[in-house]
Chains A and B, each alone.
Chain A
Amino acid sequence: MSEVETRHVLLVEDTLPLAKSYIEFLKSSPYTVEHVETGRKALNALKRGECDVMLLDINLPDMSGLDVLARMAEVGSTCPVVVITAHGSIKLAVDAMRAGAADFLVKPFNAQRLKIALANLFERLAIESARPASRAETRPLQPAQPEAVTGFIGSSPVMQSIYRVIEAAAPSKASVFITGESGTGKELTAEAIHRAGPRRDKPIVALNCAAVPRELMESEIFGHVKGAFSGAVTDRDGAAALADGGTLFLDELCDMHLDLQAKLLRFLQDQSFRPVGGTELKKVDVRFIAATNKEPLEEVAEGRLREDLYYRLHVIPITMPPLRERQEDVIDIAQHFLAAASLEENKSFARLSEEVKAMFRAYNWPGNVRQLQNVIRNIVVMHEGETVTPEMLPAPLDRVAIPRVFKAVG
């Protein structure tokens, strides 16, 4: 029999019946719970250091939960925190996450939700602790490992951190939730996780929840049987069946209709589903990766994303940085696209002029890597030469001021 590690939970909740309920929720689980009613007592308990996770109510009699978060460093605690907040106080939860909380729970919640939040947290921590370099490590980061994380270009610290999460997450079956602006490489990240993991020989099936009409989406995910609806002339497997043994990548998850989110949640929970019009329950083994260019907590607050689905999927979060936050990578990426496009278009472009490099670094790239790729393609198709010069830049790059140092030299 495998031995289950017992975790110590510090519960900070001043309303006694609620505290007792939460303690009972965790009674049959591998958790021991210490309950305190004030922020001051919580800080004292943290000082003693016997805490694997703190469940922290935001509204305490002597100080707010946000104050407790802010003062954790003073008592030398790095204990992960799940904040408990009232319904309608998502903004406080977001503030708490920004202040360092690992997750949040909205009252009221039941035993299952509490256990899932804790299980997700510990799974994420285990994966993070297995990384070769921790965030606290101060030695220089190793250079990019394109052979390990295929498809990425860039050696900026922020991308090094992304590569490490990908490498650490790949062997696990834990769900991954990728956020980031359009064009930052969310799909590439999903593919990299799949390719680097034990499911690499099985399919990764991508489904764009924003691109498929609502009425077809259920069939796209779960498939259908013949006669399920007009046009269903044969049985057809959906993404869930096609991804069996592999990975199901749900892009633009926040655009999925709420009714279908409920069905997806059930599928996530027990990995079984019924095709549209079918009666037989099908069981599969699928790893889930979801992505969105929206802020998922805001989507939860606005009622467009089910909170329980968010909890289920948000085990390993990855936030893709916009290109403007990795300026040191812009030239490497541009050079890569230039070489590739030149080869494809049978052109002789080999380099960017220093002025163009400076302009690329100065531009804020609202469309991110995808925009950079399109700009390079445009230049290669429309012009001839070996060096890309400022005159070749398409709009809106042609309006970027050349940084002064190059004007003076020129």
Chain B
Amino acid sequence: MTGVAHLASEAAGEDTLGPLRDHLDPTAFREIVALYETTVRDRADAIARAARTGDFDMVRRSAHDLAGMCGQLGSTRATQLARRIEGACAGGKGHDALALIPELAPAVAETLRALAEIAR
């Protein structure tokens, strides 16, 4: 499974980008997918940077954004990891957040790959 089908299948029946594509012209749809790609990548980078400097408030905020976006895309693994990182930061457990961050990169990469396929 690839693209929308793959993402939607992880979302327990919640179709998100599918209906959006159905009533958007192709250009507008590609623009919004591109916006997701850019912003998901940006927030994932922000988490990694902030983790290196111990800025856990930034980690928390970026993880919150990332969870919201990946959730809307139906990308379950990235969503859950981002939520756990956000929760760890909010609970003052920076060490737990740091332990989870390495797992985030492959999950985000998976989401970005799926988005790239959708955009093609």
Contact = CB atoms under 8 A, between A and B. Distances in A.
Interface stretch (B19-27, B46-54, B91-99, B100-108): B19-27
B28 A18 contact: no
B119 interface: no
Nearest to A20: B32
B69 A110 contact: no
A59 B14 CA distance: 23
B25 to A, nearest CB: 11
Looking at chain B's contact residues, the main secondary structure is helix
A24 B24 contact: yes
Contact of B71 (A27, A59, A87, A112): A87
A27 B23 contact: yes
A28 interface: yes
Contact of B72 (A28, A108, A112): A108
Interface residues of A, number: 22
Nearest to A57: B68
A107 interface: yes
Nearest to B15: A110
A259 to B, nearest CB: 14
Interface in B8-24: 11, 14-16, 19-20, 23-24
B15 A17 contact: no
B2 interface: no
A15 B68 contact: yes
Interface of A: 14-18, 20-21, 24-25, 27-28, 59, 61, 86-88, 107-112
23 contacts: A15-B68, A15-B69, A16-B39, A17-B36, A17-B39, A17-B40, A17-B69, A17-B72, A18-B69, A18-B72, A21-B32, A24-B20, A24-B32, A27-B24, A86-B71, A108-B16, A108-B68, A108-B72, A108-B74, A109-B14, A110-B15, A110-B16, A111-B20
Interface of B: 11, 14-16, 19-20, 23-24, 28, 32, 35-36, 39-40, 61, 64-65, 67-69, 71-74, 83
